[in-house]
Amino acid sequence: MTVVLIALGFALPYLLLQAYYLFYWHKTKPVSIPSDYIGSASVTIVVVAHNESKSITSCLQGILQQAYPAHLMEIIVIDDHSTDATIDEVQKIGSERIALYNLKDYPEYIKATAYKKSSITLAVDKSTSEYIVITDADCVHSSQWLNTVVYGLEKNQNAFQTAPVILDGNNSLLSEMQETEQLVLMLITAAGITSGLHDIANGANMAFRKSAFLQVDGYAGNEQFASGDDMFLIEKMRKAFPGNIAFNKSINASVSTQAKKNWSSLIKQRLRWAGKNKGLESQTINRIWAFVGLYHFILLFSLAASLFNLISPIPFIILFVVKWFADFLVITTAASFFRKTSLLKYFVPLQFLYSYYILRLGLSMVIGKKGDWVRTSQNSPD
């Protein structure tokens, strides 16, 4: 009876948590641009690049081809100590709308390890616009991306806004798992922001007012973390502008990027995310992720214990049924909105793969493995 109660003690909160997210996802109003909308605000798009010679050209060409009025767009590229041909590729494009800055030429902005934060700060200072839109050099942008992002900012008078980041895979089970996880993360991001439970943002697709950034003093106080240009900023913005933080719920506001190609790079990225989150004032999202990790551990432990006849199979059945039912509802909802329902055919194998992923990530954290973005010097990534 005790183990059954323990299983129920985990299963019920898990079910309620997913129901909570679904409720507030549906309460998040979609952003829909009027057919006659024409942007009128000056916008600065910031792209920070470190060794992105293979992707920077397509990224910038996509931005240059936006439906937003060209004369209102300013594009600032900050080269963050690239050792490849990133700068050459930017210069080849030859657009007058692109301003290229090399971070190493501005040592007064550089904070040890926090190179991306330093780059964004430099770009904000160089910007001539009130609206700042941040994206990554490896992202792909649809023609309506900037229209949708700016419209969301204007309509709701937001100080800070984050928007969807979707992954493109290579049809491997690992990439399908990442695509599915990312869709769920977007749902959780929207629900958390709308409800006020927690704030998540993604530096590949976020926007804010320059005046708001300056008012919260940018990244001051967070420079000791290499990553977190998104999470630390949204936390500061929430504190200063509690009613003006939003998620742009629109597929047209999405950007896409490639999923990680192997387990090593995926785990390193997730370890970096976990590392930056330790510095947040609010630990709500970390507690939720710890609970989810523990749930997977107990689920697998109860399975093993029942197979060896150490306990009844009932605890495992309870945990298993609740998890699969709740996860299916969340994944189906997110996949339907983002038009990725083809991922649902992988639901069963991904449930098993995801449990392995959670346990591997947890073990990596316990033994102290390091995430990516660690550099031995300003000029070379580790």
Same structural domain for residues 66 and 167? yes
Q: Does 278 reside within a domain?
A: no
Is residue 323 within 8 A of residue 358, CB to CB? The reply is no
375 has which bridge partners? 381
Q: Does 183 reside within a domain?
A: yes
**The last residue of a domain, from among 207, 242, 270:** 270
Q: Does 112 reside within a domain?
A: yes
pTM score: 0.93
Rounded CA separation 103/48 (Å)? 10
Smallest CA-to-CA distance from 245 within 308, 153, 332 is with 153
Is residue 45 within 8 A of residue 63, CB to CB? The reply is yes
Same structural domain for residues 8 and 131? no
Cβ neighbours of residue 150 under 8 Å, at least 6 residues apart? Answer: 39, 41, 43, 68, 131, 133, 207
What pLDDT does residue 274 have?
Answer: 79
**Residue 364 φ/ψ, nearest 5 degrees:** -60, -35
What pLDDT does residue 379 have?
Answer: 40
Same structural domain for residues 11 and 55? no
**The last residue of a domain, from among 243, 270, 297:** 270
Rounded CA separation 344/28 (Å)? 23
Q: Does 352 reside within a domain?
A: yes
Q: Does 82 reside within a domain?
A: yes
Helix (H) or strand (E) holding 301: helix 284-307
Q: Does 300 reside within a domain?
A: yes
Same structural domain for residues 86 and 193? yes
Instruction: Tell me the residue type at 349.
Output: P
Instruction: Tell me the residue type at 362.
Output: G
Rounded CA separation 259/182 (Å)? 10
pLDDT digits 0-9 by tens, 161-211: 999 999 998 889 999 999 999 999 999 999 999 999 999 999 999 999 999
What pLDDT does residue 282 have?
Answer: 86
Same structural domain for residues 190 and 45? yes
Please provide the size of the chain in residues. 382
Rounded CA separation 146/139 (Å)? 13
What pLDDT does residue 374 have?
Answer: 52
Is residue 326 within 8 A of residue 332, CB to CB? The reply is no
Write the CATH number for 38: 3.90.550.10
Same structural domain for residues 251 and 349? no
Per-residue pLDDT of the chain (382 residues; tens, 9 = 90+): 789 999 999 999 999 999 999 999 999 999 999 999 999 999 999 999 999 999 999 999 999 999 999 999 999 999 999 999 999 999 999 999 999 999 999 999 998 788 999 999 999 999 999 999 999 999 999 999 999 999 999 988 899 999 999 999 888 999 999 999 999 999 999 999 999 999 999 999 999 999 999 999 999 988 887 788 999 999 999 999 999 999 999 999 999 999 999 999 999 988 888 777 777 888 999 999 999 999 999 999 999 999 999 899 999 999 999 999 999 999 999 999 999 999 999 999 999 999 999 989 988 988 877 776 555 444 433 2
- In 3-state terms the chain splits into helix, strand, coil percentages (rounded to 5) of 55, 15, 30
Same structural domain for residues 240 and 293? no
Same structural domain for residues 247 and 324? no
Rounded CA separation 365/140 (Å)? 31
Same structural domain for residues 249 and 360? no
**The last residue of a domain, from among 242, 270, 298:** 270
Q: How far is CA 271 from CA 174, 198, 287, in A?
A: 17, 20, 16
The count of structural domains within the chain is: 2
Same structural domain for residues 172 and 252? yes
What pLDDT does residue 164 have?
Answer: 98
Same structural domain for residues 91 and 47? yes
What pLDDT does residue 380 have?
Answer: 35
Tokens representing residue 323 in the block = 């998890």
Q: Does 276 reside within a domain?
A: no
* Full residue range of the structural domain in which residue 18 is found: 2-23+284-376
pLDDT digits 0-9 by tens, 88-116: 999 999 999 999 999 999 999 998 788 99
Q: Does 164 reside within a domain?
A: yes
Same structural domain for residues 189 and 314? no
